[in-house]
Every structure is written in C-alpha cells, then in structure tokens.
A = this chain, B = another copy of it.
Amino acid sequence: MKLHLLNPNTTESMTLLMAGAASRVASPGTEIIPTTAKIGFPYISSRVEAEIIASDVFETIAEHHTQVDAVIISAFGDPGLIGARQLFDIPVIGVAEAAMLTACSLGQRFSIVTFSDRLTEWFCDGVRRASLEQRFTGIRLPREDFQSIETVQEELGETLVKLVEEAVLIDKADVAILAGGPLAGLAAKVSERLPIPVVDPVPAAVVLAEGLVRLRPGIARAGGFARPPAKDTFGLPDKLARRIEHTD
C-alpha cells in the first residue's frame, strides 16, 4: 500500500519529521511517499494561509493520486480536506480530523495541546467543521515563547506535559491531541508520563488511511462528496484543470 504524505508547508525538515513519525507506525507493506510544498509558506499558521494554499494541495494530489492508495494532508488545520475528498476517488485523510476521530474512540472529551496561540483559530475551525464541539474541551497553550519550530519539541517538551495535566484537571479532558506538524513524534516519547491517552496526528492519520484502504468502502457517486461533473476552467494548474475538466 502506498500513502501520499502531503506536507502543504515548504519546510523540508518538517516533512522528514512527519515521514519519520508516519513510518514508525505504518504496517510492513506500507510505503510512505512524502511531498513538500513548492509554493506557499514555511509553516502555515492561520486560516488565510490555509485558504491560499488549498489550490496547490489539489494540484499536488492531482499529480500523485493515480499512483497511491490514499493521501494524508499533513497540517493540523487540514487545508483543502473537503475539496480534495470531493475531487478524488482515493481516501483523503486530514491529520486533524484523524486525530480527533481517534481521540473520540479513547474517551468522551479531547483537548488540543499545541505550542502557539497563532494556531488556535485555525484549529478550532476544524473542530467546528467536524461538528465535534461537544467533545472538545478547548486548546491548551504554553505561556512561554520558543526559538524555532525545528526545536520546539525540545524547548517546550516539559511544558506540554504540564499542559496535558491542566487539560485533565481543569478542562476535564479524557484524551489529549498534541497538535501541529513540529510536534510530530513527540507523543510517543512522553505518553508514559501523561495521565491520559495522547494522540499524535500523523500516526493517527496513517492507521486511519491504512484502515480505509483495507475497508474498501466504495466511492461517492452521489451526495455531497461526489466528484463534480466536468466543467471548463481558466488559468488553473495543469493537472488540477484536467481533473476538473474530466480530461485526466
């Protein structure tokens, strides 16, 4: 099985981090095919940036979808998730949605623990899109700053453990999600010290993707996720245009 791990950020080191976290949990026969965005931002952290990058997410999927079994959009706000799910016939998984659904199988209420308050609006949009507000206890954030997203795991590791404890005691969370690409892989290192189960979004997305491929639920040919009928386009990237025009 081949899983396209699509990093919509332009930072290669983050792709490596995510691919490592993905590989550690992947089944023996699963190949992780990571890509890094060529255009956009080093690290998407707001809704407007996520909206800007959505079209490029579609083009990147359009380039790979015939050679893979499923695609994982690997940024916690799941940019382009709904549109990609509509446009392509393979399963499309967002790491935020995968993490939230996984958390819902481990307890009643989950907390999102992350490292920067710039991300909160964008992350909360994902909770609302999933209609999971009633199972969400809110976002817990450090009160301190960090130097760089490449070292944020080391810098804030202890702090994040404390935030999970606050999520349990104050917010009554049953499960924690460690959210944000730069935290990929951290959960495995700290889970034994945490009082509640913890979900790492990229690995959660990998096992969900594998599961959906094996379940073969079938393709949407009707309803809100059916591929739209062929339509003219102007000025769109090549592969995306052909996918929309049904000339691919």
Contacts and interface: CB of A to CB of B under 8 A. Distances in A.
Contacts of A226: 195
B207 A210 contact: yes
A154 interface: no
A147 interface: no
Interface stretch (A12-20, A103-111, A155-163): A103-111
A105 B208 contact: yes
Interface residues of A, number: 98
A59 to B, nearest CB: 9
Q: How many copies does the complex hold?
A: 6
Interface in A149-200: 168-169, 172-175, 187-188, 191-192, 194-200
Contact of A207 (B125, B214, B233): B214
A25 interface: yes
Given A106-B91, A131-B134, A42 B212 contact: no
Contacts of A27: 27, 214
Contacts of A240: 52
A238 interface: no
Interface string A78-120: 0010111111000101000110011011111100000000101
The 5 closest A-B pairs by CB, nearest first: A39-B235, A207-B211, A48-B83, A197-B217, A195-B222
